[in-house]
Amino acid sequence: MRRTFPVVLLLLGLYLIVGCIPIPATQQYLTNGKLKPRYSIGESESSPIRIRYTTLDRAIEVLDELLAGVVPANFAGAPLSTKAEEWKHTWIAFDDGRHFALPYEKRTATWVFPLCFFMTITDSDIEYIVLETDEQRHVIDYETVSREAWARHWAGRPQHLLFPPPPAQQVGVPSTSQP
């Protein structure tokens, strides 16, 4: 009993001094708690995006819905938004007409602060899902790409935003449309 009390105080002191405790994540989840996009793609009939059957338009709907609530990182001029309908602005189309990519944030760790039991911060990193389509725009393959692999293999290829953002409204400029 005499030794237990000092040991408990020492451990409690160390716990409080540390300030925060990192809890590594499995990196299978998005920052909104849902599984990453690759788990929605497969060849089975139960897959929301079925290889060789699902069209690109339907795949975009499924992935946009999956990513609802994930705050996207600002990259390559894409607008920051938490609205699912505005996620379409971040889809990247490659000039070959067959490859389409969507960046998202995966959870890499959660930091717990012992002095504030309710306070946690989630660390994240950017990943990309790249869909390949055939001539009829059916998804025929996909690849999950890390930020580093993106920079090495994909970033230099000719590309553009699949859904460009609408032109900004200018304040005080009269409309040129006729009634």
Question: What is the Cα–Cα distance from 100 to 91, expressed in whole angstroms?
Answer: 7
Q: Quick check: pTM over 0.85?
A: no
DSSP 142-178: EEEEEHHHIIIIITTS-EEESSPPPPPPPTTPPP---
Give the pLDDT band of residue 53 (cuts 50, 70, 90): very high
56 CB burial (10 A radius; 0-12, 13-18, 19+): buried
Q: Is 60 exceeded by the pLDDT of residue 16?
A: yes
Q: Is 60 exceeded by the pLDDT of residue 164?
A: yes
pLDDT tens for 79-106 read 444 444 444 558 899 999 999 999 888 8
The one-letter code for the residue type at 12 is: L
- Residue ranges per domain, the chain? 25-103+124-161
Phi-psi region of 32 (alpha: psi -120 to 50; beta: other; left: phi over 0): alpha
Can you give the pLDDT at residue 137? 95
Q: Is 50 exceeded by the pLDDT of residue 169?
A: no
Share of the chain above pLDDT 70, in %: 66
